[in-house]
Structure 1
Amino acid sequence: MFRMARDYAARWPLSPMRNTWLVAVAIILITQDIGAQKVRVDDKLEAYPTESVDLHCEFIDGGGKTKLTQVSWIWEPVDGQRDNIAVYHPIYGQSFPNLAFKDRVVFLHNSLENPSIKISNLRMSDAGRYTCEYATYPSGNEQGTTTLTMLAKPKNSATVVTVQAGTKSVVVAQCEAVEGKPAATIKWLPPFGGNHSMSTTNGPDGTVTVRSEYRLVPTPADNGREVTCMIDQRTQDRPWVYPVKLSVEYPPSVSIEGYDNNWYVGRSDVVLLCLANANPAPTTITWTMASGPLPDTVEVDGNKLTVRKVDDTVNTTFTCEVKNKHGASSHQITTVVIEAFEDPSSAGVVAGAVIGSLLALVLVVTLIAVLLTRSRRQQRRGYPNSGDSIATGSGGSNGGDYGNKARLLFSGTGNSSNKNGAGANNIGPIYTYREGCDATGTLTEKASDYHHHHLHHPSTGNPPSAHDILLSTEMVETDRRKFDLDDSMDDEEERYDRFGGVGGGGNILPPAYHVRRGHGAENEMDVYLDDMESQRDGSVISRTAIYV
């Protein structure tokens, strides 16, 4: 009835008068249809393959005057084709005459009033119109129709087509949605400089396969670029997206890197690299030299050339050639070998190290000289380092008494001879002044006797000279330094003036020598000479006496 109203409205142009009349006709038809409609079914259903669907049917009898004889389900896959797939008779029972639905169709209720069925394990070919038709008395046949739409999710895919760089537009990528229902739509993102085409193919079961091809003029720069295929279809929750990286093949382009314009004689391990941009990857890389075969100092490892030691043999032009299946390409570079030169930075470091070493050496030598000079001055003005005996005298029972004191004076006699006929450098008598428990305080003369040099007594032989005293091994090095003639005269005069007016005769005696009496049978005397004074006649006179 609805179809009749639509068809009628489509035949006649709309106008205000006719529009009112058509509305009235449609209301009458709908009222008649509602009044005549006694079979209630679903209008439309959708299902997927391998799933199941319930087709509902119910007879509505308002007065209860219609007698139901049997009910049948009729399948119309296309217009004009009707196949009975299920029959129910209250006496004869159920029947399924169509083998295509055998074992897949069942009645949900054993009742004429509610003859609903279930179709399991659906197929795409099951799509169509399903009519529930009653045989009644006295009104005749009553029916209701349900349209079943089978949906199919497409099998989506996207592939890259490997091409060679050129000047013509070719297919570089493909995208397709296979056996979908309804048909899918395909888009390419982003469409950089290319275009796409679309094609569809209908399947025998009502599915549709959609294919799209992406085309462009391929260049080496397009290799690795990414395009995205997007497929949208009703059965998908969201669009299907798949990125595709383009594959464009091309012959090699070559460059050489590593030369720094600083190849000097003697330089070691310089490297040249042959860089090739190619797709597919290079199959061979060859290094050659314009001046002839590569010398022994040159090593090649693939795209790497290493010069172990630079000399005049590599003052030449190097060529690198690269090949792949689409062709060959080469590049060359000229290397210039220069004379070796000294690195200023290295020379500066060496010079700095040498100067620093010399300054350090000078500093050490200066420090040692200062320390030695200071030690020498201290030794000139100081005393013996140890408690060695300086002079010993012989004695009786008091031989071990160190309390006695003696003053000794060595004096020169000028150019005249002494009583023993000694020379100008002979030392005169030794005078001692002893202060003990029984000392009389008299000044006595005592011979000099040295422990190691065996100096002679004035009465028996020549007395020791100043040189003999200086060479005595009994004296320590510090004592010898006391004969240094360069010592300050002012200090000596001040020390000498402290000894004046000894005795009534006004004789001036120098400071006494330290005299120590030993314990042995023979007399030992160690003489400490302090600050000897050189005379014009060549003699040396001691001006300092040491106390024991």
Structure 2
Amino acid sequence: MARRDARNWSDCTKMIGPLCLIASIFMIHGTSGQQVKVEPEVLSYPGQTINLRCAFTDATGIRLTMVTWIYEPKEGKRKNIAVYHPDFDTSYPKSPVKGRVSFTQSPPDLANPSIQISDVRMTDEGKYICEFATYPIGNEQGITYLVMLAKPQNSASIVTVVAGSKPVVVARCESADGRPAAQISWVTTVNGNATTVSKPGADNTVTVTSEYRMAPTAADNGKDISCVVAHRTQVKPESLLNKLAVQYPPQVTIVGYDNNWYVGRTNVMLICQASANPVPTSVNWKTMSGVLPDTVQIVGNELRVLKVDDAVNTTFVCEVTNRIGTTRDQITAMVRGTRLPEKGPTTGSIIGAIIGVILLLAIIGTAIAMYRKHKKNKLNGGGPPKYKPPPPKKTTSNANNVNSSHVPVAENRNLLNQYYSTQSAEPVTDLDAYHGDDDDDDDNDDGGTEGREHYYSAAPSGWDDPGNNEVPPPYMRTDSDPQDYYPNVNRGDSFVSPAMFV
């Protein structure tokens, strides 16, 4: 077991050496890749002086021997443009920037060998490499891209075209002598397509041209079309607005005829309306027969009829001409013997207006009535009661004290009539049969009904008073005491009044 562990340990120690070597190489290269500090991009306009900065950030344990600046154009070979060695003088080999390039310090600092280029040109654009020769890690470098800018000259123009069915160029936009190339787009409501091309300009600049094509119609004339140019030198895109110029022959319409030309009518008129691009050069009136009536006068695009007669019962023709062509329109006038009745307002409109007025008056009247009623109720103290009515008063009499052979006195009748109601399986007693004290007084005064007894029972309403000699109703028991037929109920325990018998 111990031998096996020893053999495994020996294998591990053999692998540690190569792994450590590989890790150290990666660490050295990873560290050195960040030791040369430069600007990734520098922007410049022609004629300016630019600084290309370079520095070796950490030279601990590293010996710097020499620094070289290298220029690499987009097209062409790499060339050394500036060299410095501490044991020798600075050197500026032959290059496109010779005489315009120099180190910013004199003598140069090997750890900070920045350079400057004066009077930069558009052809100076490209890649600039700051390369250090070091020991023991070898050469290290940093790259800066010089981007030359040239603000372009932007313009847009309209191409005058004739309306047709084939696509043609209707507008052009150009961004000339810019660096880098501009981006052109179009904004318009008409349907069409744009084509864009680029070509080299003077001093390494670029000229971009865009054309807008469409099949123009008369309706497209005068519509807006904008060319939008975006470029790196501009804070925001530049918009160039124009209006389409589409030429088309005249579009003619005759107006003014109301179909009510009657004999004797005066001062009627026909107007020849025309739209065209370019503007019409002539407007001619004539009839189908070729001769205008004597009562007709021509003033520009107007045909005036001084007095209507049978001579104007014809077809009038208006011809309009411009540089593109000639267009005509015609209308036939029919002369009537009498005048057509004038159209008044429609019945439906009148009825609708009347109904609307009635509804409005009804709404106003209802609002006024409700307001007055509310005000009257408020003055009379109307509204829900502000207090609770007292409960019915109890009486100490009971059903056993009722005498079936005697008529209750007026006071008892009023009390029973006020606080109690009869309950039974039969219909409710008609209380209208009771005439009150006033009727009794009247009967006593006459002397004809004195001593008459009133009938009180649970009979349906509408029964007449049977009098003294009539028999009781069929449902009432006569063979037993009324007190036995109805149970004794204490009025204190129930609000139901006892039955009364006569």
- TM-score of the two chains, using structure 1 as the length reference: 0.48
| CA shift digits 1:238-267 (9 cap, x unpaired) | 344444433332222211111223444554
| CA shift digits 1:515-547 (9 cap, x unpaired) | xxxxxxxxxxxxxxxxxxxxxxxxxxxxxxxxx
Q: Within 1, Cα distance between the matches of 2:73 and 2:337?
A: 96
Q: Within 1, Cα distance between the matches of 2:323 and 2:129?
A: 67
Q: Within 2, Cα distance between the matches of 1:94 and 1:325?
A: 76
Which residue, out of 228, 242, 245, partners 2:243? 245
Q: Is the 8 A contact 2:221 2:246 kept in 1?
A: yes
Q: Within 2, Cα distance between the matches of 1:96 and 1:90?
A: 15
**1:153-232 equivalent positions in 2, closer than 5 A:** 153-189=151-187, 193-203=191-201, 206-232=204-230
Q: Secondary structure at the match of 1:46?
A: strand
Q: Secondary structure at the match of 1:31?
A: helix
| CA shift digits 1:494-514 (9 cap, x unpaired) | xxxxxxxxxxxxxxxxxxxxx
| CA shift digits 1:16-56 (9 cap, x unpaired) | xxxxx99x979835623644887543233233445442111
Structure 1 residues 64 and 342, CA gap change in structure 2 (3 angstroms): closer
Q: Secondary structure at the match of 1:224?
A: coil
Alignment match, 2:440: none
Q: Is the 8 A contact 2:177 2:202 kept in 1?
A: no
Structure 1 residues 265 and 128, CA gap change in structure 2 (3 angstroms): same
Alignment match, 2:59: 62
Structure 1 residues 264 and 154, CA gap change in structure 2 (3 angstroms): same
Structure with higher Rg: it is 1
> Does residue 332 of structure 1 match 2:324?
no
> Does residue 305 of structure 1 match 2:310?
no
Q: Is the 8 A contact 2:261 2:339 kept in 1?
A: no
Report sequence identity in percent: 51
CA shift for structure 1 position 127:
0.7
Alignment match, 2:42: 45
CA shift for structure 1 position 200:
3.3
CA shift for structure 1 position 310:
4.3
Which residue, out of 281, 284, 293, partners 1:286? 284
Structure 1 residues 263 and 96, CA gap change in structure 2 (3 angstroms): farther
Q: Secondary structure at the match of 2:28?
A: helix
CA shift for structure 1 position 338:
4.8
**1:517-528 equivalent positions in 2, closer than 5 A:** none
Q: Is the 8 A contact 2:32 2:140 kept in 1?
A: no
| CA shift digits 1:264-319 (9 cap, x unpaired) | 45544433211123222222211123455446654333322333454554443321
CA shift for structure 1 position 325:
2.4
Which residue, out of 102, 105, 110, partners 1:109? 105
**Partner amino acid, structure 2, of 1:111:** P
**1:67-78 equivalent positions in 2, closer than 5 A:** 73-78=69-74
Q: Within 2, Cα distance between the matches of 1:233 and 1:339?
A: 76
**1:133-148 equivalent positions in 2, closer than 5 A:** 144-148=142-146
Q: Within 2, Cα distance between the matches of 1:126 and 1:326?
A: 55
Q: Secondary structure at the match of 1:109?
A: coil
Unmatched segments (≥5 aa) in structure 1: 1-20, 345-548
Unmatched segments (≥5 aa) in structure 2: 1-17, 343-502
> Does residue 119 of structure 1 match 2:117?
yes
Q: Secondary structure at the match of 2:253?
A: strand
Which residue, out of 249, 257, 277, partners 2:275? 277
Q: Is the 8 A contact 2:125 2:148 kept in 1?
A: yes
Q: Secondary structure at the match of 1:111?
A: coil
Alignment match, 2:126: 128
Structure 1 residues 266 and 120, CA gap change in structure 2 (3 angstroms): farther
Q: Is the 8 A contact 2:149 2:180 kept in 1?
A: yes
Q: Within 2, Cα distance between the matches of 1:342 and 1:280?
A: 42
CA shift for structure 1 position 205:
5.1
Q: Secondary structure at the match of 1:172?
A: strand
CA shift for structure 1 position 233:
4.3
Q: Within 2, Cα distance between the matches of 1:168 and 1:266?
A: 53
Q: Within 2, Cα distance between the matches of 1:244 and 1:226?
A: 6
Structure 1 residues 342 and 201, CA gap change in structure 2 (3 angstroms): closer
RMSD of aligned residue pairs (Cα, Å) = 4.5
Structure 1 residues 148 and 340, CA gap change in structure 2 (3 angstroms): same
Q: Within 2, Cα distance between the matches of 1:145 and 1:118?
A: 15
Q: Is the 8 A contact 1:67 1:138 kept in 2?
A: no
Alignment match, 1:32: 29
**Partner amino acid, structure 1, of 2:216:** P
CA shift for structure 1 position 158:
3.6
**1:418-433 equivalent positions in 2, closer than 5 A:** none
Q: Secondary structure at the match of 2:329?
A: strand
**1:392-407 equivalent positions in 2, closer than 5 A:** none
Structure 1 residues 121 and 342, CA gap change in structure 2 (3 angstroms): same
Structure 1 residues 311 and 44, CA gap change in structure 2 (3 angstroms): same
Q: Secondary structure at the match of 2:171?
A: strand
Q: Secondary structure at the match of 1:201?
A: strand
**Partner amino acid, structure 2, of 1:220:** A
Q: Within 1, Cα distance between the matches of 2:341 and 2:219?
A: 45
Q: Within 1, Cα distance between the matches of 2:61 and 2:74?
A: 35
Q: Is the 8 A contact 2:80 2:95 kept in 1?
A: no
Q: Is the 8 A contact 1:266 1:340 kept in 2?
A: no
Q: Within 2, Cα distance between the matches of 1:122 and 1:252?
A: 59
Alignment match, 1:9: none
CA shift for structure 1 position 320:
0.9
Alignment match, 1:442: none
| CA shift digits 1:351-386 (9 cap, x unpaired) | xxxxxxxxxxxxxxxxxxxxxxxxxxxxxxxxxxxx
**Partner amino acid, structure 1, of 2:107:** S
Q: Is the 8 A contact 1:56 1:117 kept in 2?
A: yes
Structure 1 residues 333 and 196, CA gap change in structure 2 (3 angstroms): same
Q: Within 2, Cα distance between the matches of 1:217 and 1:182?
A: 33
Q: Is the 8 A contact 1:320 1:331 kept in 2?
A: yes
Alignment match, 1:438: none
Structure 1 residues 297 and 30, CA gap change in structure 2 (3 angstroms): farther
Q: Secondary structure at the match of 2:321?
A: strand
Q: Within 2, Cα distance between the matches of 1:95 and 1:269?
A: 101
Q: Within 2, Cα distance between the matches of 1:131 and 1:261?
A: 90
Q: Within 2, Cα distance between the matches of 1:124 and 1:172?
A: 34
**Partner amino acid, structure 1, of 2:244:** L
Q: Within 2, Cα distance between the matches of 1:151 and 1:98?
A: 25
